[in-house]
Chain A
């Protein structure tokens, strides 16, 4: 899908928190091409309104809130703003099978952090941005260590003040700034989660921690599911210190509609939603293997 999109006019590569994109594109029509490690994706945007989220890593494809969640799981992401002409934009809409004037997909409306930020930005975007120096838009850690060599000199930005950290095109980047990302999953993790998601009967799989959802694959509302997962985790936390039965492997709650499974995963947790017909024994073996690999110090 990414390859089919019109190229557009590149405004420049940048590095910024994902939320920056939504608060600084109120006059932008085009595509934001996102690169995270070896994967790539995009956000199709019309004047601050995201019309489609997409991310692909190998054979794993994330769409909608799953892709957005993955973007949001990174403190900063690297992206290229590519402006579209009306014709290019119409072509992109067709490729993405999105209607220009349709309301935001329900799955996107669930993303609370996105909508309010966009609305705030829509009130007085230009004035607000003109009053601030570019450095004021940067995350604190980046303001403290500016990298002037990453700037693209002479890049005209007529409609979007480039307030994030501009970076060179990926091919030209020789050094990268590695921001500590404790809650970010590595590529093999995403691959493993993707493989579990592909098993028969798996409706959705999430990696979450105490604060938030880190990765979601599957078409479900994440917040209600996480609420249940955290309740189950609280139960497991209550009983684990009392029992001397070894380390906690998983807890599975079965209801007539299906199963909810929680399990430790590195410093985070997995939550798996399955149909009733799932082979629990198979899932159980996978979860045990994940834990054994972890205890043996093998990086998954």
Chain B
């Protein structure tokens, strides 16, 4: 079921991967196309999750809504779905970020119900 939801992201133009991941770096479910999710990427995602959570806390203990890191070829969007679980989208820089974030919000409850 989770895979079906993640597939909604993968069909978006230039999206390469959709991953539900735990804060400790453990991948709960992922779906990808044309990209390898290796240990290095897992570590990168874990670093972003932990660092960003700490950074957001510097704003008077604010909760983290989303992190967006862009490079010249790819970008990564990470959003919390529930306590220690995050949804991560990796896409080419040509992908439509507005569409991706819209789908993230739209499918959050469905993902939570499956965790």
A residues with CB within 8 A of B: 224, 227-228, 231-232, 234-236, 238-240, 242-243, 245-257, 280-281, 284, 287-288, 291
Contacts and interface: CB of A to CB of B under 8 A. Distances in A.
Contacts of A251: 67-70
Contacts of B72: 245-247, 249, 288, 291
B81 to A, nearest CB: 15
A263 to B, nearest CB: 9
Given A227-B58, A228-B55, A252 B67 contact: yes
Interface of B: 40-41, 43-44, 47-48, 51-52, 54-56, 58-59, 62-75, 93, 97-98
A281 B97 contact: yes
B2 to A, nearest CB: 24
Contacts of B68: 250-252, 254, 280
Nearest to B62: A255
B51 A249 contact: no
Given A243-B41, A280-B97, A249 B63 contact: no
Contacts of B62: 255-257
What is the interface of chain B mostly: helix, strand, loop, or mixed? mixed
Instruction: Point out which of A247, A255, A288 has the most chain B C-beta atoms below 10 A from its C-beta.
Output: A255
B56 A253 contact: yes
A152 B72 CA distance: 54
A28 B14 CA distance: 64
Given A254-B66, A280-B97, A281-B98, A246 B55 contact: no
A239 B44 contact: yes
Nearest to A291: B72
Contacts of A247: 71-72
A107 B40 CA distance: 44
Contacts of A249: 70-72, 75, 93
Contact of B44 (A234, A242, A280): A242
A247 B55 CA distance: 23
A246 B72 CA distance: 5
Nearest to B64: A255
29 contacts: A227-B58, A231-B51, A231-B55, A232-B52, A234-B51, A235-B47, A235-B52, A235-B55, A239-B48, A239-B69, A240-B71, A243-B40, A243-B71, A246-B71, A247-B71, A249-B72, A251-B67, A252-B68, A253-B52, A253-B55, A253-B56, A253-B64, A253-B67, A254-B64, A254-B65, A256-B62, A280-B68, A280-B97, A288-B70
